[in-house]
Structure 1
Amino acid sequence: MPKSLLIISRQAPWSGPGAREALDIVLAGGAFDLPIGLLFLDDGVWQLAPRQHATTLQQKDLSANLQALSLFGVDQVFACGFSIAERGLDPQDLGLDEVQLLETAQLSALIDRYDQVITL
């Protein structure tokens, strides 16, 4: 049985390659039926914000990758509710309907559920 993997994405989509790399790992894992989850934490929750203008920042838009998660069998997508609130985002406006909001106290239990964890 393959080991489960949790990717924790902590970078804003415009802060460097970390956000894209996290999504690439998740999509690749999903394509190979790996038990995989994705957690948006800290500035990583900015990836879920609607109406991003990636071309203005000379970045590639990540919204298509986010929308493809379910197509690749990735249905374990989480976001830290505190991180969202701290950045003034409205959970109702997030880019994915499948995102499960977690309280800070739930994060360690989530991480413990996975065999391996990668933070980007």
Structure 2
Amino acid sequence: MNKSIAIINSKAPLNGAHAKESLDLALILGSFEQAPSLFFIGDGVWQLTEQNIAMTGAKDFLKTMQALSFYDIENIYVCEHSLYQRNLPNNFALDDVTVLNRTALQNQLAKFTSVLKF
């Protein structure tokens, strides 16, 4: 049985180390040909937006996120409702992001054998 892994990103990028830890895990899994699918919900949708975080002293991990396709991590989903709640457009720092309504997102998550939430 193949294990499929979903990583849920639910925290804003500057809310602790959650975003970076999630990205590090995804890249590690990808390097071992265990490419996870990434989900962005709640405040996690902010991780996909262009932000000027240089002024905070935090490392801009959006450049690292652009390496996801190199690791065959191609399934990236974002919650439409979370975007709507934060008045964010469907304009992301990454290509090939799929926007899903809540029902479709839940149905997609139900397909995975392991779900990790950050």
TM class by smaller structure: over 0.9
**TM-score (norm: length of structure 1):** 0.93
What does residue 85 of structure 2 align with?
86
- The residue identity in structure 2 corresponding to 1:97 is D
1:17-96 aligned at under 5 Å gives the runs 17-50=17-50, 52-91=51-90, 93-96=91-94
Structure 1 runs (4+) greater than 3 angstroms displaced? none
The answer to whether the 8 A contact 2:35-2:71 is kept is: no
Unaligned runs of 5+ in 2: none
Preserved contact between residue 40 and residue 78 of structure 1 (Cα < 8 Å):
yes
Q: How many residues are treated as equivalent by the alignment?
A: 118
Structure 1, unaligned runs of 5 or more: none
Whether the aligned pair in 2 keeps the contact of 1:7 and 1:38 (CA below 8 Å) is yes
TM-score (norm 2): 0.94
User: Which AA in structure 2 matches 1:56?
Assistant: M
Q: Tell me the percent identity.
A: 34
Task: Provide, for residues 18-77 of structure 1, a one-character-per-residue CA deviation record: whole Å limited to 9, x for no partner.
Answer: 011111111111111114100011000001112x12221121101112101101110011
